[in-house]
Amino acid sequence: MPLSLPIGIDDFRRLREGGHTYVDKTSLICELLDDPGSQVLLLPRPRRFGKSLNLSTLRYYFERSDEDLSGLFEGLTVWEAGEPYRSHFQRYPVIYLTFKDIKPDTAEDFWADIEILIQDLFSHHRHVLDSGTLSEVQARRYRAILAGEATPALQRRALKELATVLHQAYGERAMVFIDEYDAPIHSAYVRGFAPEVLGFFRAFLGGGLKGNPHLGRAVLTGILRIARESIFSGLNNLAVCSLLEHRFSSAFGFTEDETAGLLAQAGRSGELSEVQDWYNGYRFGERVIYNPWSVLSYIHWGGEPKPYWLGTSANELIEEVLGAHATRLQPRFEALMAEGGVDQVVDENVSLDDIEHSERALWSLLLFSGYLKAEKCGRTEHGQAIHRLSIPNREVRLVYAHSFQKWMERRMRGHGGSLEALTGALLTGDAVGVQRELGAFARDLLSYHDTGGLRPENMYQGFVIGLLAVMEDTHLVRSNRESGAGRPDVMIRPRRPGAPGAVLELKVARPGEKTLDAALDEGLAQLAAKDYAAELRAVGAEPVHGFAVAFDGKEVRVRSAPAVVPPQA
């Protein structure tokens, strides 16, 4: 059967009735029903990882209706699982809300959006007004909401109000599904009115989900778990399954088998390694996960791999926070770009008030937003899990590369350094140009570096890798890779044969021990003896340029080397 990929379709019924290809995620329903103790479940995942489609699936499965929708689920995992799961099919009143499109510019816009959202929600269930089960007071409040005359207090308690009247009308407790609950919070934080939005959600979610006898189950999705004191204060029945947990680890995103299956259906199985390089690398629990939006887009458009996920929408919160931390944490970001990692205790509760000031909050934000992956690597003396955070794939590397370019250009404005001139000099073998541009960056930027106990060689290497991250679109910029008879400090490898490449050997002068000239001589000798250009020649780089680079504080010297010439036998 030919593929009909549902690009941008997040309504389960539309997807199934349209005959589109569906990667079966209905095991989520089984897993939810197998865990009755989690009355309120929060499933935070990065954007475009299938949250909206999954909540739509839950809605169509559980929502009471006169229309038989069993055809949507026939042949899928939950339907084949048998009667214990089918007994819940189309049985409950369902409250379904999505906040993903509420990204207000002002507090006034937020309240206007909320009024419309609640009106639409109550309008969807307006038949309960004719059920004869509402009291006069309940009916009056219901009509006030429909008429747009609800007070702020009634808006804040609207979730509990609707769950109550639905339970009375149907005799079954309401199921509540809330998608992207934190989208308005992110927008409000960036624009400076987060406290007002947090106040609404604290009352709205607290009233509807905490100690509500009319609530059956609730599932919420978002990107982050906003800290308990901000929203979920006192919500003791909340179970959080973040991407670090084993439960629900395959419910969002594509597993390797699912990705390979889609490529096979498209007749493109031979492209799996390329898809791995670009879109693989996430870890949910211990499971390796692919970015579903990017995989589907890659297959659908049938062209060269591109950063499809990063181009879907601007993430203002990420950009705001990265910009706030850029100067202080630049060395650690450079370590990430050099294919290193950051060992960190991850806080699963993100307090927005701490993001601009707390390094741990920053790493948590980047991890749960999909910009890092986490692998357990040990524990603290107090038993807290330590995770090695690193960049998951090439697509995400591009966002850091572009961020570095913005930071560097902003900080170098008026100081004479040019990233374009630096990369151009490297790819044309212009040692004088490399020395001029690299020296300008060193004089302005190295004063910001806190080496944190790193050896000077490591600090300078991270500095250079960070600068050259802007080449990510056309070149792989890597450090300490096996090549020839050793490991060059920096390798600039073209992504296509016939394009120029370069290797850099970095040395550090030491007062009283090694002058800049001696350091350069040492670097040139090492380039010649170890044939660091071997890998570049093997992949068709043409020409290959070699440079010895010596640092003494913020002073830089550069000499070119005949790196293209293999050593004589």
Percent of the chain with pLDDT strictly greater than 70:
87
- CA atoms of 152 and 156, how far apart (whole Å): 6
How distant, in Å, are the alpha carbons of 117, 323, 395, 500 from that of 329?
40, 10, 22, 32
List Cβ neighbours of 564 (8 Å cut-off, separation of 6 or more).
533, 537, 543, 544, 545, 546
How far is residue 113's CA from residue 121's CA, in Å, rounded to a whole number?
12
Q: How many CB atoms lie within 10 A of CB 237?
A: 16
- pLDDT band at 568, cuts 50/70/90? very low
Range of lowest pLDDT (51-55, 140-144, 270-274, 450-454): 450-454
**DSSP helix/strand/coil, 312:** coil
- Helices marked H in 210-308: 256-265, 272-279, 292-301
SS3 93: coil
- The pLDDT score that the predictor gives to residue 404 is 61
Residue of 345 and 168 predicted with greater confidence: 168
User: What would you report as the CA-atom Rg of the chain, rounded to the nearest whole angstrom?
Assistant: 28
**Whether the model pTM is above 0.85:** no
Tell me the C-alpha distance between 90 and 77, whole Å: 17
In angstroms, the Cα distances linking 145 to 214, 343, 514 are 20, 50, 79
pLDDT at 380 exceeding the cut of 80: yes
Q: How far from 558 is each of 271, 335, 507, 523, CA to CA, in Å?
A: 40, 23, 10, 10
Give per-residue pLDDT as tens, 434-480: 999 888 888 776 654 443 344 677 778 877 877 787 788 889 888 76
Mean of the pLDDT values across residues 291-312? 87
DSSP string, 389-411: EE--SHHHHHHHHHHHHHHHHHH
Residue 288 contacts residue 280 (beta carbons within 8 Å): yes
Helix H or strand E encompassing 501? strand 501-508
Q: Which amino acid is at 410?
A: R
pLDDT tens-place string over residues 227-280: 655 677 667 778 989 999 999 999 999 999 999 999 999 999 999 999 999 999
Burial of 480 (0-12, 13-18, 19+ CB in 10 A): middle
Please check the confidence at residue 569 and state whether its pLDDT lies above 50: no
DSSP state of 290: B
Amino acid residing at 100: K
